[in-house]
Amino acid sequence: MTRFVGGLESEPECAAPILGLATIARMVANGRDLEPLKTELLQKTARSDAGALFDLSIIERLSGNFESANRFQAAALQRGRRFQPPLAPKAIDPLRVLALAAPGDFMSNTPIEFLVEGREVALETLYLSPDDDFPPALPEHDVTFVAVAEMDANQTILEKIDGAMRASAHKLVNQPSLIARLTRDGAWSLLHDAPGVSFPANARVDRERLVAMAKGEAPVHYPIIARPVGSHAGDGLRKIESAEAILAFLDEQSASQFYVAPFVDYRSGDGLFRKYRIVMIEGVPYAVHMAISKNWMVHYLNADMFDSEANRAEEARFMASFDAEFAQRHAVALAEAHRRTGLDYLLLDCSETRDGKLLIFEAGTAMVIHTLDSEVVFPYKRPQMEKIFDAFEKMLRGKAQGR
């Protein structure tokens, strides 16, 4: 049986089974050779298997083959919009969660698969298109999770979800209109004057404005940091200390829009930079990770965490003492972040200023939380992640029950 859904003439009533991001990423983390799996999936594509095409898009994106990943994903979405990763073997009466998602890369949506992996949750993801109407009917489910993240390409989809879901009786996690506000300049507007918060002003500017800054025709106080709009994980992010450096930055970038912010030296007393990722689930903060680096642009994968036993020991202490120390120091700031954003599920990438404020770099919903790290190297991480996953599942079940 088929029906009209989201601009497709017809599609199967059931979701296409997939291995999904969490399963494939775990294979990669465990060092598995994916070529045999890729060959098997390619054979399935001859039968127009939407799930095989979608899994191929994940493999290609994890391999850094972004153009082919986009082609496989587009082909999958031409054949179907509904996908379902494996259900945990122990699940007897699972909670049915429908995630609403947008086409794109891994930053386009909350990576919810990692959050519910192995739990009594039956996850189905429905991909929406900015060019199609919102589906007249949704698959049966207990609670809806808006996975679509804030980015320019997703604003139309967020608006469509918001318009459709406001008039529905569906139980919803993360109101799409609230997600849409979390642009870098939008998050700054929401949070910069919150008690206990330091949030450097983020201004969205075009190339002409940056050229004017370089020419002295627009005010600028060096150093600044600049990045293309839509970039994440430090891609295209530069610290700029002169007019010449602005022009050099523009020469290497093809984007037309950028975010510019003052550079804040957030080194601790020992000269190292510490960046924290915090998740807030219904207003309750949890530690996701702490990265320590000699460099100002800190990301967990480029920080000194894998090679430094001392840094890992500090991260373990941070997680163990989080509720009594970090969360208490910044209780007012974190509570205000929850209140002002209004989101059930929110992540903050942040640090601490020398005068004790919560220094916020980014607020969003698409940052990843996972258990892919080696339990031999990071034995303290899984218990902390399981605490987060417990809270996330509790939130989903509470929403499903109308709480």
Note the pLDDT tens digit of each residue in 78-111: 999 999 999 877 767 899 999 999 999 999 999 9
Which whole number is the average pLDDT over 354-367?
A: 96
pLDDT value at position 233?
A: 64
pLDDT range class, residue 57, cuts 50, 70, 90: very high
Query: Given a cut of 90, is residue 62 above it in pLDDT?
Result: yes
**Between these two residues, 93 and 290, which has the higher pLDDT value?**
290
Alpha helices by DSSP H, 63-119 = 66-79, 112-116
Q: What is d(CA 362, CA 231) in angstroms, rounded to the nearest whole number? A: 12
Q: Give the other-Cβ count within 10 Å of 340's Cβ.
A: 18
pLDDT value at position 289?
A: 96
Query: Given a cut of 60, is residue 10 above it in pLDDT?
Result: no
Burial class (CB in 10 A: 0-12, 13-18, 19+), 43: exposed
Query: Given a cut of 60, is residue 253 above it in pLDDT?
Result: yes
Q: What is the pLDDT of residues 128-147, one digit of tens each?
A: 999 999 998 899 999 999 99
Exposed e or buried b for every residue in 356-390, given b needs 16+ CB within 10 A? Answer: ebbbbbbbbbbbbbbbebeeeebeebeebbeebbe
Q: What is d(CA 158, CA 148) in angstroms, rounded to the nearest whole number? A: 7
Q: How far apart are the first and last CA of the chain?
A: 35
Q: What is the pLDDT of residues 154-205, one digit of tens each?
A: 999 999 999 988 766 568 999 999 999 999 999 999 999 999 999 999 999 9
In angstroms, the Cα distances linking 219 to 129, 144, 213, 214 are: 40, 46, 6, 9
| Cα atoms in the Cβ-side hemisphere of radius 13 Å centred on 324 | 4
The chain-wide mean pLDDT, for the chain, equals: 92
pLDDT range class, residue 48, cuts 50, 70, 90: confident
Please report where in the chains the tokens 């599942």 appear, as a residue: 393
Share of the chain above pLDDT 70, in %: 95
Which whole number is the average pLDDT over 197-226?
A: 92
pLDDT value at position 230?
A: 79
pLDDT value at position 13?
A: 64
Domains of the chain, each with CATH number or no CATH: 2-174 (no CATH), 203-262 (3.30.1490.20), 273-400 (3.30.470)
Contact 274, 291 (CB under 8 A): yes
